[in-house]
Amino acid sequence: MTVDQHSPHAVRFTKPSDLEFRVERTFDHPIERVWAAYTDPALIPQWWGQGTTVDRLDLRTGGGWRFVSNPGTDHESAVSGDFLEVSPPDRLVQTFGMEGPYGRPFTQTIELTRVGDGTRLAITSRFDTTEERDGVVTYGAEKGAIGGWARLDAMLKRLAVG
């Protein structure tokens, strides 16, 4: 599932500095629902993709998280991090790292802003070096946001109807 990148719901990808990239999109869903999609362990696997399971989610400043994709297969991978700030329903700051030999964790600031009856979701990822940032961009950060947020939008639409 993809989103027409010319629609008002297009993912906007920018590089605000040599150490950052930012992705943002507006959703036609209330901020509380978008927050829940990012913080409810029952909802995360429904849009994260790749058969994701939530291994750990301690949603508090100082807590941590770990998601496993394709569990029990030859393609199993995990991402994890620590929560540096948890301010419902509009701000979450966390570290984000792929487990294994994939570079160092980086910091993500997830910001939700009410826009009418909807929500603008923006994630700013900050790295220690430009090379680390560019590596994640090359790996597919923009494409990942487009696909992941299309699945998120579809899930939120299903929840709104149900």
In a domain, 1, yes or no: no
In a domain, 133, yes or no: yes
CA distance 56 to 153: 24
In a domain, 150, yes or no: yes
Of 121, 120, 123, 118, nearest in space to 160 by CA: 118
60 confidence band (pLDDT: 50, 70, 90) = very high
Q: Is the pLDDT of residue 2 over 60?
A: no
CA angle centred on 84, ends 82 and 90, rounded to 5°: 115
CA atoms within 13 A on the CB side of 105: 15
Q: Is the pLDDT of residue 61 over 50?
A: yes
**Domains held by the chain: number:** 1
DSSP 8-class letter at 74: T
- The pLDDT, as a whole number, for residue 17 is 97
In a domain, 3, yes or no: no
Q: Supply the range of the domain harboring residue 147.
A: 12-161
> CATH number of the domain that 89 lies in?
3.30.530.20
The whole-number average pLDDT for the span 109-134 is: 97
3-state class of 34 per DSSP?
helix
